[in-house]
Structures are given as structure tokens and as C-alpha cells.
Amino acid sequence: MGSEMRIPHTRRDFGELLRIHRIRRAATQHQLAGLSTVSVRAIRDLELGKAHRPRRDTVRLLADGLGLTGRERVEFETASAAPGWATPAHDLTAAPPPAPLDAIVGRDAEVAVLTELARSGSQRLVTVVGLPGVGKSRAVLEVAGALGDLPVLWSDAAAEPAPDTLAALVRAALGSPGSARGADMAAAHLAELVGAAAAVLVLDGYDRDDVDRAALPVLLQRCPGLRIVLTTRVPWGLAGERVFPLGPLAVPAPDADPESVPSVRLLRSHLSRLQPGFTHTATGVGALCRALDGIPSALEAAASALTVYPLAELVEELADDPFDIAGEHLDTHLRRAVATLDAPVAALLSRLVGLRGGWSMTDAVRASGLRAGVCAPLVRALLVRGLVRCADDTDRTRFTVLGLVTALYRARRLTAKEAM
């Protein structure tokens, strides 16, 4: 559509909306003046974008004259009140990423791949998906730091942006499922600001139901140099979306030296802060990391539990119920993830849960009785949902079902439907 390429200005946007409503009602400017008691000149100036922000009572009279009610009226009033989002004070560095609080552990390969994708712009919409607390935001924060001069606009779904800031503009541009018109204008503003510049927009922690999903393709179309990196728990399912599953940190094999393995290093770094000068045995720490699948948020919780629990006792406790430490939210999330799998994926998972240690695609084919071409996308679906992970960092062709997922099955904590 030709009009999509044009970037309307806020004030003209209200004018356009006014004109659209007037024409839809087959009224001339004179007739609308009669109906609304607003002068013909005022209506003409507004439609031409010559008049600056209309007064509120003028907008009310116009809305009455046009007979606008409900959502149409709200949109009309919102359009007239469009705040000065993109004031000249805004530049693309006005919504920077937060400063990392401590050093990242591991993730070299993931950060390198994501940085290259964002820098080259070869993939303009990259969605980093993974379980809650797996480290999506932390990994992308590292990417932002590695991008050097490339401007990064960071929008955190959990933070309420201050009014009239670039962050507020980004938020408004994402819209919400029911506010297409306001979002359109904010997106136009943002597009005006970004122009053709190379920039990375990080949307951190947005769920696909939080926003008007269609806003993303529109932004990408209007800003040819823009790349979007999204962190979220479930892919959005947009055309051209490159899904990047982020698994937990590697955990040590029972017989391997655990010390250089990322999950152990992260747990040790928490412990050294909480219990300076105190050392836990390598076997115990390794066992703890395995029991928690190397999920960073769970490791953080384990470290604080260790300030009051002896390690051996904690490991024993976790064998009974790992969610005691991993957290109820992971329990809920994993159950929902299992419950919402498509039937063939769920059926495959129930076979894979029984396989011990790392398995290859050949093993999965054998265990499921499926053809390789059918089995591979199903395993991929399990990786994307975070229920299956790579068995270790160096060999990306061996996989394993998360220990936490196995625990759900073993303890029959899944309902019949969930465990089908």
C-alpha cells in the first residue's frame, strides 16, 4: 500500500483522521462546521496540519459533530493529544541498555552469533527464546555492549517509561492489541527519528500478547537500517522471525572436572560473594548445578539457600523436589509448556524422557519410531520451548531432556493431559 511508505507528522495525522471521519460521513467542511459549531477555518487548518494542537473542547465539539462514540472517539481524542514524543532532544542513544551489574559467565558462542546477526543486519528480527531466568536478557545485554558504535535502543517490558522520553515513544509504537491508531502515530514518529540509520532495537521481555504484533513488521519496513532483537519466552510467529533458542548454562557430567563448566563458575561466583572464604566440594557443587539444569536464576536461588543449608542436604532435597529451589514460576511455566505442545511433539517428549544421558537424532528416531524428517522438526520444537537442551557446549548434536522436565514426569506432577 503506497500510503504506508509515507511518514505522517503527528499534527497532520490528527488532521487526516478528522478528514477521514468527515468524508466517511459525507459532510463538507461547511456542514461539519454547522454540526460542530467549530469554524470552517479551524476545521480546514486542522485538516491541512496548519493548526497546532487543537483545544480539548474543540476536539469534543468535533467528535460530537461527527457523531463519534466508543473506541473511535477515544482514538480521535488520543490522536489530538499526541504528545511531543520525538522532540529534537531525542536521539537514538536516549534509551540506552542498563549497565550490567556483574560479569557474564560463559555464553561466548551465543553472544558472538547474536552480535554478528545484529551487526550485519542479515536477520532483521531475531527472537531470543528460552525459559524464565535462563539468561536471555543478560545475554542480549552483552550483545548490546559488543555492538560498539551501533546505536542500541533498549526497551524493557517490565519498566514503565517516563512520559515524553524515547523509551515512552518505543513503548507507544508497540501499541497494545486494541490501540492500533495511537501505535501507528508513535510508530511513524519513531520511524521519522530512526530514518534509514543502522540501529538495533532491543525489546526485552515482551510477550506476544502484550503488544500489537503487527507493529514490528511496519517498523522494519519504515526503517531499512533497523534490526530488532526480542527476548521472550515463546516465539511471536512473525514472518521473517529468526528464532534463537537460548538453553541453560552447560552443566558438568558426573565424572568430569566441574570447575571450568559455566554453571559451576556462576554458582561459585555467587557463593564467593555470599560466603567469602568458604569452599564447597566440587562434587557437591556439580551435583547442584545438574539438579538445577544450569538455569542461572535457579543457581542464584541455590547460592542463597546454601547460606543456611548444608550442601549435601540441599542436594538431597533437590532430588525430591527441585522446584523448591528452582521456583514455582519455573514449575508453572514448564507445565504450561508441556501442556501446550502439539500432540506429536508431546508424544515424542514422553519417549525422550526415558532416554538416559545425551542422545542424538538417531537415538530419538529409534526411540520414537518416527522418520528422521518428521522427528527433526519435533526435536527443534522441544528446543525452542526450552524442554530439551544441547547435552554439552562442545557437541551440538547431542541433546537431553531437562532434568526439571524429567522430574515433572517422574513425580507424576503432570496431569494426564499434560503428560500425554
Q: Which of 216, 218, 266, 379 binds ligand ATP (CB under 6 A)?
A: 266
Question: Rounded to an integer, what distance in angstroms lies between the CA atom of residue 8 and that of residue 309?
Answer: 61
Give the x-and-dash track for 41-80 against ligand ATP (CB under 6 A). Answer: ----------------------------------------
Q: Which of 97, 175, 205, 252 binds ligand ATP (CB under 6 A)?
A: 205
Q: Which does 297 bind (CB under 5 to 8 A by kind): ligand ATP, Mg ion, none?
A: ligand ATP
Q: Does 105 interact with ligand ATP (rule: CB under 6 A)?
A: yes
Choice between 10 and 137, CB closer to Mg ion: 137
Using CB under 6 A as the binding rule, the residues of this chain from 129 to 158 that contact ligand ATP are: 130, 132-138
Choice between 21 and 136, CB closer to ligand ATP: 136
Choice between 123 and 137, CB closer to Mg ion: 137
- Three-point CA angle 259, 261, 267, nearest 5°: 75
For the bound state, the minimum distance from the C-beta of residue 206 to Mg ion, rounded and expressed in Å, comes to 10
Choice between 223 and 266, CB closer to ligand ATP: 266
Question: Rounded to an integer, what distance in angstroms lies between the CA atom of residue 181 and that of residue 345?
Answer: 39
Taking the CA atoms of residue 285, residue 414, residue 383 and residue 240 in that order, the dihedral angle to the nearest 10 degrees is -140
The region of 110-118, 165-173, 200-208, 212-220 touching Mg ion under the rule CB under 5 A is 200-208
Q: Does 137 interact with Mg ion (rule: CB under 5 A)?
A: yes
Question: Rounded to an integer, what distance in angstroms lies between the CA atom of residue 169 and that of residue 152?
Answer: 15
Using CB under 6 A as the binding rule, the residues of this chain from 233 to 252 that contact ligand ATP are: 233
Choice between 15 and 296, CB closer to ligand ATP: 296
- Three-point CA angle 181, 184, 188, nearest 5°: 150
Question: Rounded to an integer, what distance in angstroms lies between the CA atom of residue 41 and that of residue 33?
Answer: 9
Q: How many residues does the chain have?
A: 420
Q: Which residues are paired to 226 by β-bridges?
A: 199
Choice between 40 and 104, CB closer to ligand ATP: 104
Question: Rounded to an integer, what distance in angstroms lies between the CA atom of residue 101 and that of residue 338?
Answer: 33
Q: Which residues are paired to 400 by β-bridges?
A: 389
Q: Does 127 interact with ligand ATP (rule: CB under 6 A)?
A: no
The region of 57-65, 79-87, 132-140, 262-270 touching Mg ion under the rule CB under 5 A is 132-140
Measured in whole angstroms, how far is the alpha carbon of residue 379 from the centre of its chain? Answer: 22
Question: Rounded to an integer, what distance in angstroms lies between the CA atom of residue 399 and that of residue 352?
Answer: 10
Q: Which does 130 bind (CB under 5 to 8 A by kind): Mg ion, ligand ATP, none?
A: ligand ATP
Q: Which does 106 bind (CB under 5 to 8 A by kind): ligand ATP, Mg ion, none?
A: ligand ATP
Q: Residue 201 belongs to what H/E stretch?
A: strand 199-204
For the bound state, the minimum distance from the C-beta of residue 134 to ligand ATP, rounded and expressed in Å, comes to 4
In order of 92, 185, 243, 416, the CA distances from 83 in angstroms are 18, 10, 35, 52
Q: Does 386 interact with ligand ATP (rule: CB under 6 A)?
A: no
Choice between 264 and 370, CB closer to ligand ATP: 264
Question: Rounded to an integer, what distance in angstroms lies between the CA atom of residue 175 and that of residue 186?
Answer: 8
- 343-369 burial, b at 16+ Cβ within 10 Å, e below that, comes to eebbebbbebbebeebbeeeebbebbe
Q: Does 104 interact with ligand ATP (rule: CB under 6 A)?
A: yes
For the bound state, the minimum distance from the C-beta of residue 259 to ligand ATP, rounded and expressed in Å, comes to 16
Using CB under 6 A as the binding rule, the residues of this chain from 274 to 333 that contact ligand ATP are: 296-297, 300
Q: Does 205 interact with Mg ion (rule: CB under 5 A)?
A: yes
Q: Which does 134 bind (CB under 5 to 8 A by kind): Mg ion, ligand ATP, none?
A: ligand ATP
A 10 A CB-CB count for 203 gives 25
Cβ atoms of 147 and 227 closer than 8 Å: no
The site for ligand ATP (CB under 6 A) is made up of 104-107, 130, 132-138, 205, 231, 233, 266, 296-297, 300
Chain residues in the site for Mg ion (CB under 5 A): 137, 205
